[in-house]
Amino acid sequence: MEEQRGGKLAGKHILLGVSGSIAAYKAVDILRRLQEEGADVSVVMTKNAARFVSRLTFETLSGKSVFTDEFEETERKGIGHIDITAGLDIALVAPATANIIGKVAAGIADDALTTALTAIACPLIMAPAMNDRMYRNVVVRKNIAFLREQGVRFVDPDTGPLACGTIGQGRLAETEKIVQDVSSALPAKDLAGLTVLVTAGPTREQIDAVRFISNPSTGRMGYAIAEAARDRGATVILISGPTEIAPPAGVTVIPVQSASDMYRAVMDRVEGSQIVIMAAAVSDFKPTVSSDRKIKKHDAPLVISLERTADILSAAAKAPGRKLIVGFAAETDNVLDNALQKLKSKNLDMIVVNDLMKKGAGFGSDTNAVIIIDRAGVQTELQVMPKQEIARRIIDKIAELKAN
């Protein structure tokens, strides 16, 4: 196969998961096509998948041992699901049964495949194959929707004759479609060598030791952007206000609390960054006086005097050095007019605006809907979709601007 290693997947390490569907035989063709495109493929099978197609078939074609049982006695020295998922560029489950989709959605890891999928640190694609009634099942649809929100990509099944003798949507997608989607999901390393500074989450402006002014930001959008930039090869610094999100792997995370903290953290690092993406929801106001002790209710003033916080975005845009500056705007009225005014007044290269009145957009949601506007006034509208996908599209636009 060496003469075929120059394809569009050359040098990519792919995990192919095969679950217990009659369509498992098609995974053999998928393996061959991935190899023909130059990929290095490791195969993990469920025990039920091995009832449809032998493990030996995949071992012969891949030239590697197939992982089917964590407790099987082998010469392997490491931990199976950790070893096989190290250094992966992408994981593909084809076919993906309703059972395997449900397990992944629930975080269940009780066999070789689900344990391996729990350990991956790379994009995941699932290609469902099942009876059409199963595919329409409300729980299956809910599981797929949930996984999409977490950034899992799906290759929708085709409609046609099914193994049970009926006609409906449930046939495993064609091999070429699956391989193309794998190729498309692998991010280009077009930001390699660049440092990307991202801010995320809310800030907290203390009134006293137990009370503060803040906003509903969860940080999900900024974290997704940091991960998307990392996947494109950038060195990423994430300056984050208080969130409940786990720090992204491969990203330098700097936790902050207040707008002043975030200002100092940004200004300390902005000159060494080539791209600055200000996705944090920074408080615009803070109390003029705060206490490091709890103010008792009967002693508290009924009016709190406020002052403006520092304008971090404007300061970053004025910092020395040539850099691409991206701002964010969350609006409820005159959405486009306000975004354009902010783009010009703060001298930004690009702004991402979302309408907080739009269902599925804004704070506290796993989805978002935005309009991206660049310095030239070109607008790109993204309808409601998972924040991970929004983040990838934002990075696509940034990479395009950086290249021009």
Residues assigned a catalytic role = 164
d(CA 189, CA 186): 9
**Which whole-number Å values give the CA distances from 320 to 24, 311, 315, 344, 347, in the listed order?**
57, 16, 10, 19, 14
> What's the chain look like in SS3?
CHHHCCCCCCCCEEEEEECCCHHHHHHHHHHHHHHHCCCEEEEEECCCHHHHCCHHHHHHHHCCCCECCCCCCCCCCCCHHHHCCCCCCEEEEEEECHHHHHHHHHCCCCCHHHHHHHHCCCCEEEEECCCHHHHHCHHHHHHHHHHHHCCCEECCCEEEECCCCCEEEEECCCHHHHHHHHHHHCCCCCCCCCEEEEEECECCEECCCCCEECCCCCCHHHHHHHHHHHHCCCEEEEEECCCCCCCCCCCEEEECCCHHHHHHHHHHHHHHCCEEEECCECCCEEECCCCCCCCCHHHCCCCCCEEECCCHHHHHHHCCCCCEEEEEEEECCCHHHHHHHHHHHCCCCEEEEEECCCCCCCCCCCEEEEEEEECCCCEEEEEEEEHHHHHHHHHHHHHHHHHC
- The sign of the dihedral angle between the CA atoms of 386, 389, 391, 393 is negative
Q: Is 289 exposed, middle or buried (0-12, 13-18, 19+ CB in 10 A)?
A: exposed
